[in-house]
Chains A and B, each alone.
Chain A
C-alpha cells in the first residue's frame, strides 16, 4: 500500500501539533474567509432570475450507466477594438448575454458515434467589443479503460490534445448565431472563451448560471465547471482542470433549475518561480467558493465545463484595475 507521505514516525500528539503548525503557517491565526465561503457556497445558493431562453433540451436521454458528456458551450470572443485604455475606462463594462436556445443533437448509442449539437447564442455586447468567436473543444478519442482524468485530458504527452473548433465571426452580426458542432465526441470538453485580449491584471466577471444536467463521463466520476484566463485556443494547463474539477459537487448540489449568480475575480500575479498565475475566485453573491490559485496561461477568459450541461446568461466583464507595468508574459 502506498503511504500518504505524511510522516509516519510521529506520535499522535506530535502529528496533532504538526497539523496545527501547518495550518498556522498556511493562513495565520485568523479566519480563512475564503474557505468558509466555499463551504457555504456548497451548501446554499439563492435561486436567481428565471431563464429567458430555452436552453438545450436534449432530444433524448442517453442509455446506460454512464452518461456521455454532451456539452456545448459556445465561445464568444470579445475583442476590444484597439488597445484598452484602462485609465480612461477603469470600470468599463461589457455585457454579453449568452443564450443557447436549442439542441438538435442526436444521442450516440455507441462511444464512437458523433454527437450533433447545435445551439443559438445571442449576445449583447457593449460598443468596445468588435468580435465574437465560438469555440468548442473536443478531446480526442480515448480507448475504453484509458486513463480519464483531468490531467490526462490536459496532458499533451498523453495525446489528449484538445482540438478546438473555432468559428470566428469578427465584424459580423452577433445576434442569433447558430453553430453546428458536428464532431463533438462524448467526454467532450466544451468551452466558452470570451476573448478580448485583456491586458489588465484584475478582471471581474459575473454571470448567472444554472445546471441543466449532470453527466458522468466515461470511466470517471468527475466533472467540472471552471473559469479562468487562457491565452490560446488550446487546452489550458492541467492544473486548471484539476483544481476546478471538484467544483462539480457544488453544481450537483444546486440541481437543475436553480439560477445562481457567480462572480470570478481574476488577478494576474507571478509566483516566486516566475510562472504567472491568476488568483481565481468565484463567488455567489458575497460567497466565495473558490480562491484557487491556478496557472494563468493568457488573457482570454475561458469558461469550461465537463460532466455538466449548464446555462449561462448575463455575462459581464469588468476591468477592476489598470494593467501593471512589465506584466510577465513568458512561460505560457
Chain B
C-alpha cells in the first residue's frame, strides 16, 4: 500500500502531513499507524515482551535512518517488519540463541503480511473475534492471554489436564485466525490459490 494511502487511512491529519515537507511528521504518522502490528509481529518471534519492544523500536529507528531510501509505493509496515526480521536474526546470533525454524519464520511473515494487507485494525477485529469465541476455548484464551496464566495454572484452575489446555489454546488460536481472516477479508489459502476456509 503506498504511503499516501497508508497516511490517508490513518487520520484526517494525514493530508496536511503529506503536503508538508516535514519528514519526521510523516514518519511519526506511519509509526502511529503501523506500530501495533510491528509489535505484534515482534511478539510472534520472541517470548520476552521487553525484547519484543526493543526489537520493534530498533526496527523503527533503522527505518528512520533508511527512510530516504524507502519506496513510497510499498507497504511501510511490511518494510519495517522485514527490518525487524533481520534484527531478530542478528539478536539470536549475538545471544547464541536458537532462532525459530526458517519455515516457521517465513510462515509468520506471510501471515502477518497477509493480515495487515487489508489495512484494517487487526486488534479491533481480534477483539470482536474473541468476544464471539465461547466455551472452553474462550476460557483458555482469556486466562492465558488476558490474565497471563500459564497452562499449568489454567489446568489447576479448571480441573483439566495441562495437555488439554494446550490443545484448547491451539484450537482457540486457529479459530481466532480464521475469524480474523474472514473479517479482514484475507486468507492465506486464498492467496495461494488453494481452497479457502468456509
Q: Which residues of A contact B (CB under 8 A)?
A: 1-8, 10-29, 31-32, 35-36, 38-40, 42-44, 243, 246, 249, 253
Q: Given that A16-B177, A29-B123 are contacting pairs, would A4 and B98 also be in contact in the complex, using a CB cutoff of 8 Å?
A: yes
Query: Scoring B residues 17 to 39 as 1 if CB is less than 8 Å from chain A, else 0, what string do you get?
Result: 00000001001100110011001
A249 vs B95: C-alpha distance when bound (angstroms): 19
A173 vs B61: C-alpha distance when bound (angstroms): 46
Contact B112 A43 (CB under 8 A): no
Chain B residue, CB-CB nearest to A43: B64
Contact A6 B174 (CB under 8 A): no
Q: Given that A22-B43, A25-B145 are contacting pairs, would A2 and B57 also be in contact in the complex, using a CB cutoff of 8 Å?
A: no
Chain B residue, CB-CB nearest to A21: B145
A21 vs B180: C-alpha distance when bound (angstroms): 12
Q: Given that A42-B61, A43-B24, A246-B54 are contacting pairs, would A21 and B176 also be in contact in the complex, using a CB cutoff of 8 Å?
A: yes
B86 within 8 Å of A (CB atoms): no
Tell me which of B96, B112, B121, B177 contacts A1 (CB under 8 A).
B96
Contact A18 B100 (CB under 8 A): no
Give the residues in chain B near A1, CB-CB below 8 Å: 96-98
- The smallest C-beta distance from A68 to any residue of chain B, in angstroms, reads 24
A29 vs B41: C-alpha distance when bound (angstroms): 15
Tell me which of A13, A26, A43 contacts B111 (CB under 8 A).
A13
Contact A29 B35 (CB under 8 A): no
Tell me which of B39, B46, B95, B141 contacts A21 (CB under 8 A).
B141
Contact B57 A11 (CB under 8 A): no
B104 within 8 Å of A (CB atoms): yes
Q: List 6 A-B contacts (CB under 8 A).
A: A4-B46, A4-B48, A6-B47, A21-B176, A24-B126, A38-B57
A29 vs B53: C-alpha distance when bound (angstroms): 16
Query: Scoring B residues 44 to 58 as 1 if CB is less than 8 Å from chain A, else 0, what string do you get?
Result: 111111100110110
Query: Scoring B residues 127 to 159 as 1 if CB is less than 8 Å from chain A, else 0, what string do you get?
Result: 100100000000001000110100000000000
Nearest 4 CB-CB pairs, A to B?
A12-B107, A19-B44, A16-B111, A29-B123
Q: 14 more A-B contacts (CB under 8 A) besides A13-B188, A17-B176?
A: A2-B95, A4-B100, A5-B48, A6-B46, A12-B104, A15-B44, A16-B111, A17-B177, A19-B40, A21-B176, A32-B36, A40-B27, A42-B60, A43-B60
Contact A20 B92 (CB under 8 A): no
Contact A21 B173 (CB under 8 A): yes
Contact A16 B108 (CB under 8 A): yes
A21 vs B42: C-alpha distance when bound (angstroms): 12
A40 vs B64: C-alpha distance when bound (angstroms): 9
- The smallest C-beta distance from A30 to any residue of chain B, in angstroms, reads 8
B124 within 8 Å of A (CB atoms): yes
Contact B100 A35 (CB under 8 A): no
Contact A24 B123 (CB under 8 A): yes
Contact A6 B123 (CB under 8 A): no
Contact B45 A29 (CB under 8 A): no
Contact A40 B28 (CB under 8 A): yes
Chain A residue, CB-CB nearest to B179: A17
A42 vs B59: C-alpha distance when bound (angstroms): 12
Contact A22 B40 (CB under 8 A): yes
B74 within 8 Å of A (CB atoms): no
Tell me which of A2, A22, A246 contacts B145 (CB under 8 A).
A22
Give the residues in chain B near A6, CB-CB below 8 Å: 45-47, 100
- The smallest C-beta distance from B126 to any residue of chain A, in angstroms, reads 6
Contact A40 B40 (CB under 8 A): no
- The smallest C-beta distance from B26 to any residue of chain A, in angstroms, reads 12
A221 vs B32: C-alpha distance when bound (angstroms): 30
Give the residues in chain A near B39, CB-CB below 8 Å: 23, 26, 32, 35
A29 vs B44: C-alpha distance when bound (angstroms): 17
A12 vs B95: C-alpha distance when bound (angstroms): 23
Contact B124 A29 (CB under 8 A): yes
A49 vs B130: C-alpha distance when bound (angstroms): 51
B103 within 8 Å of A (CB atoms): yes
Contact A12 B40 (CB under 8 A): no
